C-alpha cells in the first residue's frame, strides 16, 4: 500500500543517519562562521583507530554548489483520525510559505527562535495527499503506525514528522529533521525537544526490509543482496577486519532484520556505526559545555562552528566523505551537487544557537532530600566524581575502548582518561565513527533516558547497576544483538556491588541531576 511504502521509504533513509557535545571559544556576537571551512572540518576530526585512514570531506567549492534548503512553513502531522475536522481540506488550500529569512534576524532571541524552525525543518519530502483526501488510505496508515508502536502526543500529533506545502494543492510528509531523532513523547503525552527521542527507527526499518522480502516472495539470494547493498553505504568500512564487516559482504537477511527489530526506542543503527552495534541516541542538553561531539568523540567542539559542521555531517554530508579512498557515496561530483541539499551558513548558525539554548528538564519525581544527600555522599565516596565531575557531571574527557591503547600523540592532543571501563568496544573500534574512544557522558538528565550504555543494552538505572548483567545467561531489556538469546552486558562495574540501601540512595542522587 502507498502509505506503508512511503513511511518505510522515509524511515529507511532516515535510519541511515542521525544526530549529536564544551566550548572553549564561543562566539559572543552573531557573526556567522563559514560553515564548510575545509581546514576546520579536517582539524575537528579525531583520527580513526586505523590512523592510515584519512577522513577527507568534499571540497568547499563542491559543497557550495549543492542547493540550499528552503524552510517552508510546517504543519502538524496527526495520527489519522485525530486531526481537526476538515484539516486536510484546509491544508490543500494553503499557499507555500518560506519561514526562514536571515535578514530579519536581529537579536540573540531571534536567532534561537529561528533555530527552532531549522531544528524542525525536514530534509526529505514524500507524497501524503494530492488534491483529494483518501480516508481509506489514511486509516490504513494509522493502523500501521499503531502496529509499530509509534508514540503519539496527547494532542494526537506525531512529532517526528510534519506536513509541508511546497505547492498549493499538494500535502507532503516532511521527514529527517533533527526532531526525528531528538523529539521524545513523554509519559504524559507532552513533547520534549532535544531529548533522547523515542521514534522506533530500526523496528520500522527492519519491518520494511522484512516485508519487502516476504511480500514479494523474494528468493533468499536476492533478499541477501538487498541487505548487502543497503548496509554497505550505511555501515561499510572495508579497511576494518571484523565480523560486522564480513556480515555486510555476506549477509543473511532474516538475521539482519531480526537484529534491527531487536532495538528499543532511543536506539538506532545510525549511519557510519557498525551493524550489531547501534547507538543510544544522546540528548542535546548543555551542549555548549561539551568538549567532544559524537559518542566516540569523533569531532572536537571548539566553538559554535564545529556544532554547525557536525550537524551538517550528520544530515547526510558525511556520506560524501572519503575514508582513505573508500566513499560511501561513489557518485561523481556532478551527481553529488544534485543529489543532496544543504544548510545555508545562516540556517546552521541558527540551529546551533537553538541547540545551545536547550536545557534538561528537572525530574518531577525526586526522592526525599535526605536520601538524595546520602546518595551524593556515596557518589563522592565511590569516586564517581573522577569521571562524572560536577557541574556537568562529566569530566569532558575520552576513555579508551577495551583493546585500544592511546598513542603518544593522542595523549598530547586530547583529554584522555587512560582507564577503560571495558564496555562493548564495537562502536568505538569497528565503525566509520571509530576513534578508539568513548566520551564520558554527562549524567544530567539521565533520569529521562531509557536507553543506557553505548548501544542501549539496558533500559533503567536499576538494570545498569544489577551485577547479574555481567553473566552469560543475562537477557537485557534493551537492545540484544543475540535477539532473544542470553547476552552479557559487560563493563562499567562501578557501584554494582553496593548494598541495596546504598545503591538505592546512589540512584536517587543520580536521578536528581
Give the per-residue SS3 of 55-109. EECCCHHHHCCCCECCCECEEEEECCCCCCCCHHHHHCCCCCCECCCHHHCCCHH
pLDDT, residue 30, reads 78
Strand partners, 277: 274
Q: How far is CA 246 from CA 17, 320, 485, in A?
A: 21, 23, 22
Residue among 358, 21, 314 at smallest CA distance from 193: 358
DSSP designation for 132: B
86/332 Cα distance (integer angstroms):
46
- Residue 400: what pLDDT? 97
* pLDDT for the residue numbered 29: 64
Give the closest residue to 441 by CA, choosing from 488, 389, 402, 401: 389
Mapped to the 3 state alphabet, what secondary structure does 297-350 carry?
Answer: CCEECCCHHHHHHHHHHHCCHHHHCEECCECCCCCCHHHHHHHCCECCHHHHHH
User: In this predicted structure, what is the pLDDT of residue 10?
Assistant: 46
Give the rounded distance of the alpha carbon of 95 from its chain centre. Answer: 33
The answer to whether residues 202 and 187 touch, using CB atoms and an 8 Å cutoff, is no
Element (H, E) at 511: helix 500-511
Q: Residues 6 or more apart from 464 whose CB is under 8 A from it?
A: 452, 453, 458, 492
Kindly give the interhelix angle for 345-357 and 304-314, rounded to the nearest 10 degrees: 110
Global pTM value: 0.92
Closest CA to 387 of 420, 357, 359: 420
Q: Quote the crossing angle between the two packed helices 253-260 and 220-235, to the nearest 10°.
A: 50
Mean pLDDT by 10 residues, the chain (513 residues): 44 38 44 95 96 96 95 96 95 96 94 97 93 84 92 97 96 95 96 96 93 92 94 95 95 96 94 94 95 96 97 94 95 94 96 96 94 97 95 97 95 94 96 96 96 95 97 96 94 95 97 97
All residues at 6 or more sequence positions from 222 whose CB lies less than 8 Å from its CB, including other chains: none
Could you tell me which of 124, 118, 66 has the C-alpha nearest to residue 320?
66
* CA distances, 131 to each of 98, 127, 339 (Å): 21, 11, 27
| Residue 317 near residue 340, CB atoms below 8 Å | yes
The C-alpha cell that represents 298 in the structure block = 569523533
- Would residue 97 be called left, alpha or beta, if left means φ above 0 and alpha means ψ between -120 and 50 degrees? beta
Record the cell numbers describing residue 485, joined without a space: 538469546
Beta strands 267-268 and 279-280, pairing class = antiparallel
Using only the alpha carbons of the chain, give its radius of gyration. 23
Nearest to 181 by CA among 164, 163, 201, 162: 201
DSSP conformation class of 385: G
| Residues 292 and 275: beta-carbon distance below 8 Å | no
Asked if the peptide bond before residue 391 counts as cis, ω within 30 degrees of 0, the response is yes
Amino acid at each position: 500500500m502507498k502509505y506503508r511504502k512511503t513511511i518505510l521509504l522515509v524511515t529507511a533513509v532516515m535510519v541511515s543517519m542521525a544526530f549529536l557535545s564544551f566550548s572553549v571559544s564561543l562566539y559572543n556576537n552573531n557573526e556567522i562562521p563559514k560553515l564548510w571551512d575545509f581546514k576546520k572540518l579536517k582539524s575537528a576530526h579525531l583520527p580513526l583507530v586505523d590512523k592510515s585512514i584519512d577522513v577527507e570531506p568534499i571540497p568547499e567549492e563542491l559543497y557550495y554548489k549543492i542547493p540550499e534548503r528552503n524552510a517552508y512553513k510546517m504543519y502538524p502531522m496527526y495520527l489519522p483520525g485525530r486531526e481537526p475536522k476538515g484539516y486536510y481540506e484546509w491544508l490543500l488550500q494553503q499557499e507555500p510559505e518560506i519561514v526562514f529569512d536571515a535578514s530579519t534576524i536581529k537579536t540573540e532571541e531571534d536567532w534561537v527562535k529561528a533555530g527552532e524552525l531549522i531544528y524542525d525543518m525536514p530534509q526529505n519530502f514524500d507524497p501524503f495527499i494530492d488534491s483529494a483526501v483518501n480516508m481509506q488510505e489514511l486509516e490504513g496508515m494509522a493502523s500501521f503506525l499503531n502496529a509499530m508502536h509509534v508514540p503519539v502526543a496527547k494532542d494526537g500529533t506525531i512529532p517526528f514528522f510534519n506536513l509541508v506545502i511546497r505547492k498549493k494543492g499538494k500535502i507532503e510528509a516532511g521527514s529527517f529533521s533533527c526532531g526525528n531523532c531528538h523529539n521524545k513523547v513523554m509519559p504524559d503525552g507532552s513533547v520534549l525537544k532535544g531529548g533522547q527521542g523515542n521514534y522506533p527507527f530500526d523496528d520500522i526499518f527492519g519491518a520494511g526490509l522484512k516485508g519487502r522480502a516476504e511480500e514479494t516472495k523474494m528468493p533468499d539470494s536476492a533478499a541477501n543482496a538487498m541487505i548487502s547493498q543497503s548496509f554497505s553505504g550505511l555501515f561499510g568500512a572495508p579497511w576494518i577486519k571484523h565480523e560486522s564487516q564480513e556480515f555486510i559482504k555476506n549477509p543473511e537477511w532474516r538475521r539482519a532484520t531480526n537484529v534491527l527489530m531487536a532495538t528499543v526506542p532511543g536506539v538506532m543503527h545510525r549511519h557510519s556505526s557498525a551493524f550489531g552495534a547501534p547507538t543510544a541516541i544522546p540528548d542535546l542538553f548543555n551542549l555548549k559545555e561539551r568538549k567532544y561531539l559524537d559518542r566516540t568523540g569523533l569531532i572536537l567542539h571548539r566553538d559554535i562552528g564545529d556544532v554547525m559542521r557536525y550537524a551538517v555531517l550528520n544530515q547526510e554530508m558525511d556520506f560524501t566523505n572519503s575514508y582513505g579512498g573508500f566513499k560511501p557515496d561513489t557518485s561523481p561530483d556532478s551527481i553529488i551537487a544534485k543529489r543532496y541539499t544543504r544548510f545555508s551558513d545562516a540556517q546552521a548558525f541558527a540551529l546551533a544557537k537553538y541547540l545551545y539554548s536547550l536545557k534538561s528538564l528537572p525530574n518531577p519525581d525526586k526522592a526525599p532530600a535526605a536520601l538524595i544527600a546520602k546518595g551524593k555522599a556515596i557518589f563522592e565516596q565511590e569516586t564517581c566524581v573522577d569521571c562524572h565531575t560536577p557541574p556537568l557531571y562529566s569530566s569532558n574527557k575520552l576513555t579508551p575502548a577495551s583493546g585500544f591503547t592511546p598513542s603518544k600523540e593522542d595523549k598530547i592532543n586530547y583529554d584522555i582518561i587512560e582507564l577503560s571501563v571495558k564496555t562493548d568496544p564495537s562502536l568505538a573500534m569497528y565503525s566509520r565513527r571509530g576513534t578508539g574512544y568513548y566520551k564520558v557522558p554527562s549524567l544530567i538528565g539521565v533520569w529521562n533516558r531509557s536507553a543506557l550504555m553505548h548501544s542501549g543494552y539496558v533500559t533503567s538505572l536499576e538494570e545498569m547497576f544489577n551485577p547479574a548483567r555481567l553473566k552469560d545467561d543475562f537477557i537485557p531489556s534493551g537492545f540484544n544483538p543475540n535477539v532473544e538469546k542470553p547476552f552479557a552486558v559487560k563493563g562499567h562495574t562501578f557501584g554494582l556491588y553496593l548494598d541495596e540501601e546504598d545503591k538505592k540512595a546512589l540512584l536517587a542522587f543520580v536521578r536528581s541531576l
